[in-house]
Amino acid sequence: MRFWLYILFLGMTLVGYAKQDQEGTLPDAGEEPVEGLDSMYYLNDVVVTGTRTPKLLKDAPIQTRVITASDIEKADATNVEDLLQQEMPGVEFSYAMNQLKHMNLCGFGGQGILFMVDGDRLAGETMDDVDFTRLNMANVERIEIVKGAASALYGSHAGGGVINIITKEQTQPWTLNLNARLARYNERRFGGAFGTKGKQLHNMLNVNHTFIDNIHVHNAENPATQIVSTIYGDRTWNVKDRLTYKPTDQLTFVGRAGYFFREVVRTADTPERYRDFSAGVKGLWDITAHDQLEISYSFDQYDKSDFHKINRLDVRDYSNVQNAFRSLYNHYWSTGSVLSVGTDYMHDYLMNKNLGSKTASQSICDAFAQFDWLIDTHWEVVGALRYDYFSDSKSAHFTPKLTARYQPIDHLNLRLGYGMGFRSPALKEKYYNFDMVGIWIIQGNPNLKSEVSHNFNASADYTKGHYNFTLAAYYNNVHNKLTTGVPHYLPGDDKQLYLDYTNLEDYSIYGGEANVQARWDNGFSAKLSYAYTNERLPKDKEGHTINNQYIPARRHSLTARVDWDKQFTSNYGLRLSLNGRFLSAVKNVEFVDYYDISKGTSTIHYPAYTYWKLSVVQHFGKAFKVTTALDNLLNYKPKYHYFNSPLTDGINLMVGLSVDIDKLF
């Protein structure tokens, strides 16, 4: 069956290729958007994540949700967690063990969602999620979110989708912005961005610093499960520089470097430190008007260490280093069709004091091809096939994808797609050996198989007048989910429990999303988004209900936003924004007693909640912006701070100032 699927994809690609007898020119990713209905909803914006080629959002064959720079500014978000929770239904950030952040997006955990910055993967994980705090929102042009399996283009860890953060390009001769925000709990956020642009060189430097105290929160008596009494704050530094060199119209080189530091004081004498060092070089060559080649190298190192204050020692206990080389060739036809062929190589190194051998590494290489066939003005079909090889397990993986877009009338797009997703076992999952505070020893499993998912999706979007509508539905069938299984004793030892990484039985996730946006001429705009997620919890291969270490997705979630913009004079403008989210209750199966699993499991009920934010943004002249926000406007205080409760103990006043120094002159 799988063989015939591959043949079908290959055949479709060849047929489409043979029909392209005319050649076209490269699309201009920097093309100015056309004013009108399309620009109102950013439909003329260029997106790249769905196909790895520039496509106008309104014509993208893969449904792509875009969070624009304007959305980010309105949300006043510090990092990607703040932003996604405000902007998207169906996404939730909760705590895993030891207050480590875990994301759930439409039923897929952070392990199944691939985060990228300008198309590059991120090193490092904690409880299988990337460090979301390093993804700050300074200098972000937009975020592209593609839900559903995208492994045919991006490989492992893209079973649930891709979130690609696109950074800004410098467009002015020079810019300098300084900004600050203060809030409760001694929260401070300072940022600076300095950009220059010459004839061939442009550069953007960003420096950001955040701080927030530990917050001690109150809980009622007799909680149903684990609660949080202290929300740990942190101190971060984030420095990024991006240099672009365009020696000719056909050649572009981009170099980047970054440093990230975060300190969390969970124990006063041993603060935990997290560092990331990143760098990269990318070359883009427009070989002809129809052919484009992209070659890049990316380095990312994510470290964890403990600072022993008394001994004045900073001791590293984790390091993940990724060196990746990528190449991508695109050929464009005048009909709009595109052939993409690429290959990648990545060396993945892991040092972890809890690995049996302390270090492990592997090489991953892949090759892929995609044909984006624009059949006529109504139909577009995209097929992709990818081959991945993993040196540690000496295993290979083929991944197909097929999507069709039909445009029966202007401004109406119907999409139907199938994609395979997969996640190869991480080195940690294969070789871990960790004594978890006397409860059990978490053991790696070298015999793990890849987790594979089959994603079927359908969507429709329509724009008319002041309104834009989107409807989407999906179904995922997941085989061999990678996680920890049922605790067990070894033969002859009934004292020490072991918890092994394992592959679980098949399970499914299905759901849908509805979104409506409106923009009126009087300055008002509104957006309402609803997501339904049904995550059927997996069992182990023997059919046992397992303890879910991550709380599953909430079935219903909704985000809403209303904005009012008014420029009163040339020197004074005002924007009022009200945004909020509603998340329904959710149940999870958990052990009654982690120390005595013979007591079985019970179903824990996590309550629904709603959370709102009101902000007032005042523009004074061209240079000054003052933001005043009331976060948690309804003063919601969880009775119990469970692992998926909002991190709050009440209303919070935030005041910010941003100055564009270059606009003062």
Partner 1 sequence: MFDDIYDEPQEQVDIKEGQLYIDASSWTDWHYINLTATGNKVVKMSIPTEALPSPNGEGAEGLYTYWYDVFGEGLSKHEFRGFTPTASQPEPDEWHIAVHRNNVRTNGGAAYETPYTSMDDLPESSEAFADATFTEDVWNELDVWTIQAQMLQGLIGNQGIKVNPVLSSWLTVSLPPVPPVFTLNNHVFIIKFNDGTYGAIQLENYQSPTGVKCCLTINYKYPY
Question: In the complex, which residues of this chain contact partner 1 (CB under 8 A)?
Answer: 214, 216, 219, 221, 223, 226-230, 232, 266-270, 275, 277, 301, 303, 305-306, 308, 310-311, 313-316, 321, 437-439, 593-595
- If one counts every other C-beta atom within 10 angstroms of the C-beta of residue 378, the result is 12
Query: What is the nearest approach in angstroms of partner 1 to the Cβ of residue 591?
Result: 11
Q: Closer CB to partner 1, residue 97 or residue 526?
A: 97
> Could you count the other beta carbons within 10 Å of the beta carbon of residue 665?
6
Tokens of 439: 């409860």
Contacts of 616 (CB under 8 A, 6+ apart): 574, 575, 576, 577, 627, 628, 629
Q: φ, ψ for residue 5 (rounded to 5)?
A: -60, -45
- Comparing CB distances to partner 1, the nearer of 410 and 593 is 593
| Nearer CB in complex with partner 1: 277/456 | 277
Q: Least distance from C-beta 594 to partner 1, angstroms? A: 6
Closest CB to partner 1 among residues 211, 232: 232
Min. distance of Cβ 94 from partner 1 in angstroms? 17
Task: Determine the Cα–Cα distance for residues 615 and 76; give it in Å rounded to an integer.
Answer: 9
Q: Which is nearer to partner 1, 214 or 335 (CB)?
A: 214
Cα separation, 335 vs 266, in Å, equals: 59
Least CB distance from residue 437 to partner 1, whole Å?
A: 7
Instruction: From residue 446, give the alpha-carbon distance in Å to each of 5, 348, 364, 434, 501.
Output: 30, 16, 17, 15, 9
Shortest reach from residue 254's CB to partner 1, in Å:
22
| DSSP assignments along 236-296, one per residue | EEEEEEEEEE-SSSSEEEEEEEEEEEEEE-SSTTS-EEEEEEEEEEEEEEE-SSSEEEEEE
Cα–Cα dist 594/604, whole Å? 14
Cβ of residue 327: shortest distance to partner 1, in angstroms? 24
Q: Which is nearer to partner 1, 412 or 439 (CB)?
A: 439
Residue 644 CB, nearest approach to partner 1 (Å): 16
**Adjacent-strand bridge partners of 324:** 298, 346
Residue 641 main-chain phi, psi, to 5 deg: -85, 80
Quick check: 364 and 391 in contact, CB under 8 A? yes
Residue 526 burial class via C-beta count within 10 angstroms: exposed 0-12, middle 13-18, buried 19 and up: middle
Start-end of H helices in 405-500: 427-431
Whole-number Å distance between alpha carbons of 447 and 575: 56
Which of 426, 311, 420 has its CA nearest to residue 368?
Answer: 420
- Provide, rounded to whole angstroms, the least separation between the CB of residue 623 and partner 1: 39
- Residue count of the chain: 665
- Please name the residue ranges forming H helices in 488-625: none
**Closest CB 298 distance from partner 1, rounded Å:** 14
Least distance in Å: CB of 84 to partner 1? 27
If the CB atoms of residues 31 and 593 are measured against partner 1, the closer one turns out to be 593
| Shortest spacing between CB 47 and partner 1, in angstroms | 34
Nearer to partner 1, 174 or 349 (CB): 349
C-alpha 213/C-alpha 93 separation (Å) is 20
The smaller minimum CB distance to partner 1, of residues 25 and 311, is found at: 311
> Which of 15/315 has CB closer to partner 1?
315
Instruction: Classify strands 161-167 and 624-631 as parallel, antiparallel or unpaired.
Output: unpaired
Decide whether 363 or 447 has the Cβ nearer to partner 1. 363
**C-beta of 520 vs 595, nearer to partner 1:** 595
Among 233, 221, 219, 266, which Cα is nearest to 641's? 219
Q: Structure tokens of 130?
A: 């990337």
Find the shortest distance in angstroms from Cβ 218 to partner 1.
Answer: 8
Alpha carbon distance 136, 42 (integer Å): 23
| In the complex, least distance from residue 278 CB atom to partner 1, rounded to whole angstroms | 12
Nearer to partner 1, 599 or 622 (CB): 599
Residue 636, Cβ density class (10 Å: 0-12 exposed, 13-18 middle, ≥19 buried): middle
